[in-house]
């Protein structure tokens, strides 16, 4: 069976995530300890029993989600005998999940990934004043219609609105200045889009307004060692495979302002023969999208100890 490991992005965080892995598996526990040490604070305590509002902060949610993903992967390795380089054809991650995918495949050290994601979260939040930007989901729109809506909203408002995520299954997200995004919602309704609604996010991710954050990540990534991953990474902004460290560095910078082409990423992997997509980490968002983006493929998610047992049975 041909397998891809996929890694979730922001929105899957919840207090208590990763605690069962921490309690059950020594290999998982080491990941949380390594992330805590890299950040110089007990992020794990916030994740397991802290204030939900603090965990929602982008600078905390991003490294926290990466930690859960890597802890789940270590559980698969130690308890189910999984070997990524042997068992997996591709890795991919949604937005911040791309860092998790790279750490899983050995391209980034876990401590480096944690520090990069902390910086990424802070830089993205700082790029646009709170309240000045927004994101909206257009449910039932295709990519062409979403791009048309965003363009019309930009032209009418005089400020930016762009397509930020193409998640598949008619789930498109637009991002930009609040005035333009709110106008895009109205235009979407006029164009027959089933649902159009603001998302509860703190910044307009994956649009050109994030350029200051992209500049910060360019500088940080230039100083970070990146190794060729053990398997191909299917990148967010190209929906194409790569193992080249210099290209990966450039793609991670481009990803800050660029759209997440998740539908195309999944379609590419499925056409290359992937039959099973395993979501590694918190939540089940990506596994739930598999039926809409890779018809006929199967999905699993691995985020708690019982999921490790399910993976054994599947494998």
Q: Residue 315 has what pLDDT? A: 61
Q: Residue 22 has what pLDDT? A: 98
Q: Residue 254 has what pLDDT? A: 98
243 to 105, 235, 275: CA distances (angstroms): 10, 10, 22
Domain ranges of the chain: 3-127+209-314, 133-201
pTM: 0.96
HEC per residue, 144-203: HHHHHHHHHHHHHHCCCEEEEEEEECCEEEEEEEHHHHHHHHHHHHHCCCCEEEECCCCC
Q: Residue 227 has what pLDDT? A: 98
Q: Residue 310 has what pLDDT? A: 84
* Catalytically active residues, by annotation: 95, 206
Q: Residue 8 has what pLDDT? A: 96
Whether the domain at 3-127+209-314 and the domain at 133-201 fall into the same CATH topology:
no
Task: Look up the CATH architecture of domain 3-127+209-314.
Answer: 3-Layer(aba) Sandwich (3.40)
Q: Residue 201 has what pLDDT? A: 85
For residue 91, the cross-strand partners are 5, 233
Q: Residue 256 has what pLDDT? A: 98
Task: Look up the CATH architecture of domain 133-201.
Answer: 2-Layer Sandwich (3.30)
pLDDT by 10-residue block (mean), the chain, 315 residues: 95 94 98 98 97 93 97 97 96 98 98 98 94 95 96 98 95 97 97 93 94 98 98 98 98 98 97 97 93 92 92 73
């Amino acid at each position: 069976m041909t397998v891809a490991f996929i890694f979730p992005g922001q929105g899957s965080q919840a207090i208590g995530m990763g605690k069962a892995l921490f309690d059950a598996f020594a290999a998982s526990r080491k990941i949380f300890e390594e992330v805590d040490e890299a950040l110089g604070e007990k992020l794990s305590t916030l994740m397991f029993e802290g204030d939900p509002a603090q965990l929602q902060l982008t600078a905390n949610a991003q490294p926290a989600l990466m930690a859960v993903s890597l802890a789940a992967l270590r559980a698969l390795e130690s308890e189910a005998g999984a070997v990524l380089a042997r068992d997996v054809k591709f890795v991919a991650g949604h937005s911040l999940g791309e860092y998790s995918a790279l750490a899983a495949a050995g391209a980034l050290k876990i401590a480096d990934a944690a520090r990069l994601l902390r910086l990424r979260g802070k830089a993205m939040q700082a790029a646009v004043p709170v309240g000045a930007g927004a994101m909206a989901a257009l449910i039932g729109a295709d990519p062409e219609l979403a791009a048309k809506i965003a363009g019309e909203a930009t032209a009418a408002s005089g400020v930016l609105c762009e397509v930020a995520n193409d998640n598949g299954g008619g789930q498109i997200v637009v991002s930009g200045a609040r005035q333009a995004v709110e106008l895009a919602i109205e235009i979407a309704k006029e164009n027959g889009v089933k649902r159009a609604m603001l998302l509860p996010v703190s910044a307009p991710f994956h649009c050109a307004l994030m350029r200051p954050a992209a500049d910060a990540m360019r500088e940080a990534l230039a100083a970070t060692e990146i190794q060729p991953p053990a398997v191909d990474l299917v990148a967010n902004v190209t929906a194409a495979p790569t193992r080249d460290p210099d290209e990966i560095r450039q793609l991670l910078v481009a990803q800050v302002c660029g759209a997440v082409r998740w539908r195309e990423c999944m379609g590419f992997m499925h056409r290359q023969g992937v039959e099973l997509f395993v979501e590694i980490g918190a939540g089940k968002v990506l596994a739930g999208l598999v039926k809409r983006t890779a018809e006929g493929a199967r999905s699993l998610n691995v985020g708690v100890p019982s999921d490790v047992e399910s993976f054994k049975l599947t494998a």
